[in-house]
Amino acid sequence: MQARIKARTAAQWSATFLDALGQVTNEGLADRRLRMSQCNELLSRWNAADRKLVLCDYDGTLTPLVRSPERARPTRATIDLLQRLGDASGVDLAIVSGRDRETMDAWFGGLPVMLIAEHGAWSSGPAAAGGQREWIRSANLPDEGT
C-alpha cells in the first residue's frame, strides 16, 4: 500500500479526489423532476389529508443563497405566499433556518407560521394575538454557559 501511495504525486492524488468529488456532486445535482403520475399521486394524498405539515427551509430554498446574509431578506412575494399558505385551512407551516430567532421574528413575526431558528435550538408556534411569540429552547441542548 505504501508503494501505491508513493507512486503518485500530491497533484495526482488531488486530481483524483476532485474528479471523484465532481462525480458525486454532479449525480447529486442531476435533474430529478417528478413524473406526472407522481405529481397526481402527491396531489391526491394532499387533498385527502385532514392536516398538512409544510416545512420550508429558508436560505437557498425560500430565498436564493447570497454572499451577504443581510441581503437575504424575504421579498414581498415570498411573505405574501407564506401568509396565504399559513392561512390555508388544515395547513401547519414552519420556516426552518439557521438564522437567529431575532432575525426570524423580525422577518416572519407577523405570519401565521411556526418558526424554527438557530438550526433547531429555538422554536416558536404561530404568534399569539398581539403579535408576541413564545420561543422555546430545545431540551436537547447543553445548559447555557457550559
> Residue 101 contacts by C-beta under 8 Å, 6 or more apart in sequence?
115, 117, 118, 122, 124, 135
Q: Active site residue: 31, 50, 57, 87, which one?
A: 57
Q: Which residues pair with 33 in a beta bridge?
A: none
Could you tell me where the DSSP H helices lie in 2-117? 2-6, 10-28, 36-48, 76-87, 101-108
Q: Is 57 a catalytic residue?
A: yes
Cell numbers found for residue 117? 431558528
- Catalytic annotation, residues: 57
